[in-house]
Structure 1
């Protein structure tokens, strides 16, 4: 009897090892992204501050309501109701300041303004 694996067994082992490698890599990539995000001075400053939802709502109405609606329920841009359940604080900050999702413009609020805006978005 030959100890070598047949081709179907080899393929199954290769698939299993590939799946295991992916399952190990995904958490490591996510951890790496969080480490990089947390090391950004602007983000570190924002998350270290306590935001005020009332101030955040005012900032939102001046800068965001034209597209996201006065109650953040969507207009040209998507609804932001319960957005903090779908995006992390880092994700929200990145979304606001990056301008990577046209037609949303880049917006560079001060760290306190961003903390206030986050506080408001998290209250929705």
Structure 2
């Protein structure tokens, strides 16, 4: 008795895999674009991002409002270390994190757009 031979159409299988991969990449790309658009829809975030911040002012703001929990150099105390934070979060995400107070015990902080731009500029140096 002969064993049945299963014939696979390799080309068709490769085409389907490529199509699914392309659909997945397209979905991811559209999701990222949609998330970015959503972040930029906040007028406060847009206002902050339009201003060029001043690092020295940002450092002073950090010392007054953030150093108590994050340490004088952002090394972390009660709050986490902020070193390389801008490598992990977008500018819009950093703004939302600061003003949102969504990670207890971090308080809500709603500075003027100019003050937030200065703080953001300083955070990106850590």
Q: Cα deviations across residues 76-99 of structure 1 (Å, max 9, x unaligned)?
A: 111111111111101100110111
Q: How many residue pairs get matched?
A: 117
| Structure 2 counterparts to residues 1-124 of structure 1, below 5 A | 21-124=23-126
TM-score (norm 2): 0.80
* Separation (CA, whole Å) in 2 of partners of 1:26 and 1:100: 26
TM-score (norm 1): 0.81
1:62 shift after superposition:
0.9
Bigger Cα Rg: 2
SS at match of 2:82: coil
**CA RMSD of the aligned region, Å?**
2.3
Structure with the bigger percentage of helix: 1
Q: Which residue of 1 aligns with 2:11?
A: none
* Separation (CA, whole Å) in 1 of partners of 2:17 and 2:107: 43
- The verdict on how the C-alpha distance between 1:60 and 1:23 changes in structure 2, with shifts beyond 3 A counting, is same
1:52 shift after superposition:
0.5
Give ranges in structure 1 of 5+ residues lacking alignment.
Answer: 1-13
* Separation (CA, whole Å) in 2 of partners of 1:29 and 1:92: 20
1:17 shift after superposition:
6.7
Runs of 4+ in structure 1 deviating by more than 2 angstroms, as ranges, are 14-24
Give ranges in structure 2 of 5+ residues lacking alignment.
Answer: 1-15
Q: Cα deviations across residues 47-79 of structure 1 (Å, max 9, x unaligned)?
A: 000100111011111111111001101111111
1:38 shift after superposition:
1.5
